[in-house]
Amino acid sequence: MKKMLGEERRLQLLAQLKNSTAPITGTDLAKFANVSRQVIVNDMTLLKARNEPIIATSQGYLFMHQEQLHQTVERTIPCFHTAEDAEDELITIVDCGGTVKNVIVEHPIYGEITASIMVANRHEIKKFIQRVNETQASYLSELTGGTHLHVISAPSVEILDLIELTLQKKGYLVVDQ
């Protein structure tokens, strides 16, 4: 297969993302374009700089269509738990109907650190947890002793309220003292 060059490649990659309902890994995009994974990382950075609504998730790159952007409400929710409870926290959120968009921690040196998670169902959580285990990576919340924020999206405010209530019942929600 012929190697795709520059702008033509980025347009083709953008079309692939727009036509997919699921995230596409950088490796798969690299195979499609017959380039290295690093070239794909650079291309995604250039496309994002043009305000293309592309997000990098733990499952791959995802194009956020306008209807997806406008059909949800978001809330930043403060959480606290051990690393052992991370999977249960994520499952709690998606079982209530939410999507965990990211995790945010406040680091004493680097300030706010944000990482995309983008899990909306148990299957995506299973894949996320598998990647954490396979890479022996630490959760960002371990940098702050378990305290972190999640940006959660859901179809309605009522679902966000249910998520907060359920997290509070499980002891994962940070509440005012």
Sheet containing strand 111-119, strands side by side:
73-80, 147-154, 99-107, 111-119
Q: What mean pLDDT, rounded, does the chain reach?
A: 89
Is the pLDDT at 134 greater than 80? The verdict is yes
Domain that holds residue 98: 72-169
Tell me how many domains the chain contains.
Answer: 2
Does residue 8 or residue 59 have the better pLDDT? 8
Rg (C-alpha) for the chain, rounded Å, is 18
Residues 77 and 57 reside in one and the same domain: no
Instruction: Identify residue 48 by its one-letter amino acid code.
Output: K
Question: pTM higher than 0.85 for the full model?
Answer: no
Task: Please write the tens of the pLDDT for every residue from 47-102.
Answer: 988 888 888 776 788 887 765 555 789 999 999 999 999 999 999 999 998 999 99
- Residues 62 and 77 both lie in one domain: no
